[in-house]
Amino acid sequence: MIIILKAQASDADLAALVEEIRRRGYQSHISRGVERTIVGCVGAPEEDKDLLVDHFASFPQVENVVRVLKPYKIVNREFHPEPSCVRIGNVPVGGPGLAVMAGPCSVEDRDQILEVARAVKAAGATILRGGAFKPSTSPYSFQGLGEDGLKLLAEAREATGLPIITEVMDTRDVEQVARYADCLQVGTRNMTNFSLLKELGDLRTPVMLKRGMSSTVEEWLQAAEYIAARGNYQIILCERGIRTFEPQTRNTFDVSAIPTCKELSHLPVVADPSHATGRRSLVPAVAKAAVAAGADGLMIEVHACPERALKDGPQALTPAAFAAFMADLRPLAAACGKALAG
């Protein structure tokens, strides 16, 4: 931690700061420049650092406090240089293959989910997605089928052999969702629902953590650290776009976040071009971009009849469009050294 003093800080201010560092049991290094004095604070344990940054920043003659180390450890690549691989059912995410999660935004009824599950499997998807608990901006919109939806997902897994991933929104539902799902998804609106993250940290089921739409990469990795800190290391990151001023897309897909996360963390990274763009015509191009940037997988919405979908129809591909996309993706994935199933 580096503490930069204001120009007008006196020798007494400096001495008080150094004494405070000593009193807490850490070491200080003083560096006097022409216009500023800088104090390094060495030896504080990780769990105290957030507090210390605030603490020193509250001293009246301190201009700025700079953290030297990253505020996450277990998910930090520095301490775990090999990339992690997480298994959803029997499907590895993070290895040499490309995981493709596909399915409808919401589970609506048995026919719908079975039809889509079969269609995406035939096209090469390896994991089935589908929402039973849906976060809706409006209280008057469809909120999902709840446990009935989970049962239908499990039935679709039986029918196709595809493992399933589905969202959980409430701490009280975690146990129930974990009984059905092969992977629990934290949606963008709950990335900073820390109670939920802790609850998921107590499981040993994989968790896919979507980036908060206004979260920095560092905050996202800290959210992953919340889960890991409780002992659940089966974590997959999912880039799904951030909020910007551009109205052409629902969110702005931050493709640079994929190689950035790979540098900073060992966790696998998946991309969701459907929610990022909100427009089906853009999904194939953005999905391919994600793969070219190094994504370990894709999550894509597919609906047999998008204009009848109860949620997010404009971004869903038809089964035929999804199959065409997968055919198109195959040579690109190969050129990126990633194998597609099927």
Place of tokens 């997988």: 297
- Interaction of residue 245 with a copy of itself, rule CB under 8 A: yes
Residue nearer to a copy of itself on the CB measure, 121 or 303: 303
CB under 8 A: which stretch of 95-103, 110-118, 155-163, 208-216 binds a copy of itself? 208-216
**Tokens read off for 141:** 């919109």
Which among 7, 303, 330, 317 is positioned nearest to 130, based on CA atoms? 303
The DSSP bridge pattern shows strands 99-103 and 91-93 to be unpaired
Judged by CB under 8 A, the residue of 150, 162, 207, 217 near a copy of itself is 217
β-pairing verdict for 99-103 and 127-129: parallel
Answer for the pair 74, 228: CB distance below 8 angstroms, yes or no.
yes
Write out the binding residues for a copy of itself, residues 59-88 only, by CB under 8 A: 59, 66, 68-69, 71-72, 78
CB of residue 89 to a copy of itself, shortest distance in Å = 27
Q: At 216, phi and psi to the nearest 5?
A: -75, 165
User: Can you tell me which of 293, 300, 302, 321 binds a copy of itself, judged by CB under 8 A?
Assistant: 293
Q: Please give the distance of CA 236 from its chain centroid, rounded to a whole number.
A: 7
CA pair distance 166, 313, nearest whole angstrom: 18
Cα–Cα distances in angstroms (integers) from residue 279 to residues 108, 141, 276, 306, in the given order: 21, 20, 9, 12
Binding mask 270-289 vs a copy of itself (x if CB under 8 A, - otherwise)? ------xx---xx--xx-xx
Shortest distance, CB of residue 318 to a copy of itself, whole angstroms?
A: 10
DSSP state, 256?
Answer: T
| Pair of tokens at residue 35 | 């216009």
Stretch that binds a copy of itself, among 84-92, 96-104, 176-184, 190-198 (CB under 8 A): 190-198
Nearest residue (CB) to a copy of itself, 159 versus 332: 332
* Binding region for a copy of itself (CB under 8 A) out of 107-115, 145-153, 159-167, 255-263: 255-263
- What single letter denotes the amino acid at residue 12? A
- Interaction with a copy of itself in 141-170: which residues (CB under 8 A)? 141-143, 169-170
Q: Which of 195, 320, 339, 342 binds a copy of itself (CB under 8 A)?
A: 195
254 sits near a copy of itself (criterion: CB under 8 A): yes
- The distance of closest approach from Cβ of residue 58 to a copy of itself in the complex, given in angstroms and rounded to an integer, is 4
